[in-house]
Amino acid sequence: MCRPIFWRPGYDTEIPVVRPGNSSLYRFGNSACKPGFQEYHYHDGNKTISTCLSFGAPKVYYWVALRLCSEQNAFLASAKTLDKLALLVQLAQGNLLWVGLDDRNENKVFVWVEDGTVISPEKMEELFVPGEPNHGREQDCVAVKPPDTKMRDVVCANSKMFYFCETKPGC
């Protein structure tokens, strides 16, 4: 069960992480996250969103990342906005990174691991590298491969990558 979190000005210590475009992404020193997770805030338009992330190492296959996150009562990190994707890319520091989005159940229907929602065609165009997803042979998982800063579909079993487990603050 999640407990509510209340933010009070001056209560947390803001540590700027990255500023893509007109948004700001922050990590807060006093975290409402469970042990092993760090709290990050990012702006999506006028809305501020909080999330808790834990970096997963060593590199693992996609289904292993899913299981390891689930064992922590978390999910493989999603990147539903450009700002959130920029945060994950920045934190990954140039490493290959799994994203919690796949079309393993139905080809060409990409579903977010976080909540089971289907990504819209507009969001797909915004968040994926041009020409992706290309739905190549057995490319059912999604990753960020530097130097790209956007997503692409990849074969789940061909690569081991780093990952982030995610949960909401107070959970």
Q: What is the pLDDT of residues 69-84, one digit of tens each?
A: 999 999 999 999 999 9
- pLDDT higher than 80, residue 15: no
Three-state SS across the chain?
A: CCCCCCCCCCCCCEEEEECCCCCCEEEECCCCCCCCCEEEEEEECCEEEEEEEEEEEEEECHHHHHHHHHHCCCEECCCCCHHHHHHHHHHHCCCCEEEEEECCCCCCCCEECCCCCECCHHHHHHHECCCCCCCCCCCCEEEECCCCCCEEEECCCCCCEEEEEEECCCC
- Whole-structure pTM value: 0.81
- The domain ranges of the chain are 54-167
Architecture of domain 54-167: Roll (3.10)
Q: What percent of the chain stands above pLDDT 90?
A: 71
pLDDT of residue 147: 87
State the pLDDT at residue 36. Answer: 94
Instruction: Select the more confidently predicted residue: 26 or 119.
Output: 119
